[in-house]
Amino acid sequence: MSLEVVSNTKCFGGWHKQYRHDSSALSCSMRFAVFLPPQVSKGESVPVVYWLSGLTCTDENFMQKAGAQRVAAELGIALVAPDTSPRGDGVPDDPEGAYDFGHGAGFYVNATEAPWSQHYRMYDYVLQELPQLVETVFPVTQQRAISGHSMGGHGALTIALKNPGRYSSVTAFSPIANPVDCPWGQKALRQYLGSDQQAWREHDASVLIARGGSMPMLVDQGDSDNFLQEQLKPQTLANAAEKSNYPLTLRMQQGYDHSYYFIASFIEEHLRFHSENW
């Protein structure tokens, strides 16, 4: 396993680092970011929160805009932020360069349809390859939590719901909560997974949560989010959770939009939530 250090920056007594590596899941070179809290420099092993970003993002949006490092340093949590899709000249992209499919829009699934299936395997990357690498290279414990925003909120919820026991807790900001029934989700799932909607349902948080479960889950959603009605549908998630008695806390936050200003306002509460549930 070869890791290239891209950057190394001191932050709140810990270190923000970017790395590049050859991903076998995605068959391309990938960059990811890690924040190691100060406890690591004192020889401690720490738990990890994996952060999945939304459409158009790289590993940088969350690390630069969410302001998560101060609380992660206080709580002794490592943060890991992967990119949102495979990338590179050899990786097919949306033919029209649309922002909601292809590069920057991997939707955290394993594509089954050509030409996407060779590289677009973000589900395996996030669930297996990246944690394996992180747990080999960095002083981290087996305690993992997962969180994300929008497309990344969809990724966090579905990966957690499909893998009970793998994460201690899951949180999301403005997740695409019912992708089988919104334009972003339908466009991506049809192309990555084909026309059989049963396959899409296996990556829909509202479908999965209806099957029950017990992993602590917190979702924050701004009520002034432009994407709320057409793309996000948190009420569908809440209704399904109620029917299956799933312990979901959904908080509608008055006046907040879809941006990282919203995430920055509540990321501390999400990290404390994870910290209470290791």
Ligand X SMILES: N[C@@H](CCC(=O)N[C@@H](CSC=O)C(=O)NCC(=O)O)C(=O)O
**Which of the residues are catalytic?**
150, 225, 258
Please pick, from the candidates 56, 239, 265, 277, the single residue that binds ligand X as defined by CB under 6 A: 56
What x-and-dash track marks residues 109-148 binding ligand X by CB under 6 A? Answer: ----------------------------------------
From the list 48-56, 159-167, 202-210, 234-242, the region that binds ligand X by CB under 6 A is 48-56
Beta carbon of residue 56, minimum distance to ligand X (angstroms, whole number) = 5
Residue 92 in contact with residue 116, Cβ under 8 Å? yes
Strand order across the beta sheet in which 248-253 lies:
3-11, 14-23, 28-36, 78-82, 46-52, 140-149, 170-173, 217-222, 248-253
Q: Read off the DSSP letter of residue 252.
A: E
Phi then psi for residue 85, to 5 deg, are: -170, 165
Beta carbon of residue 3, minimum distance to ligand X (angstroms, whole number) = 26
Q: What is the DSSP string of 117-166?
A: GGT-BHHHIIIIIHHHHHHHHS-EEEEEEEEEETHHHHHHHHHHHHSTTT
Amino acid at 120: Y
Rounded Cα gap, residues 95 and 97, in angstroms: 6
- What is the Cα Rg of the chain in Å? 17
57 makes contact with ligand X (CB under 6 A): yes
Closer to ligand X at the Cβ: 135 or 257? 257
Please pick, from the candidates 29, 253, 259, 265, the single residue that binds ligand X as defined by CB under 6 A: 259
What x-and-dash track marks residues 153-192 binding ligand X by CB under 6 A? Answer: ----------------------------------------
Residue 154 in contact with residue 176, Cβ under 8 Å? yes
Please pick, from the candidates 47, 54, 131, 216, the single residue that binds ligand X as defined by CB under 6 A: 54
99 makes contact with ligand X (CB under 6 A): yes
Beta carbon of residue 278, minimum distance to ligand X (angstroms, whole number) = 27
Where does residue 60 rank: exposed (0-12), middle (13-18), buried (19+ CB within 10 A)?
Answer: middle
Beta carbon of residue 194, minimum distance to ligand X (angstroms, whole number) = 22
| The token pair that represents 26 in the structure block | 């995605």
From the list 1-9, 38-46, 50-58, 264-272, the region that binds ligand X by CB under 6 A is 50-58
Beta carbon of residue 150, minimum distance to ligand X (angstroms, whole number) = 3
Residue ranges binding ligand X (CB under 6 A)? 54-57, 61, 65, 99, 149-151, 258-260
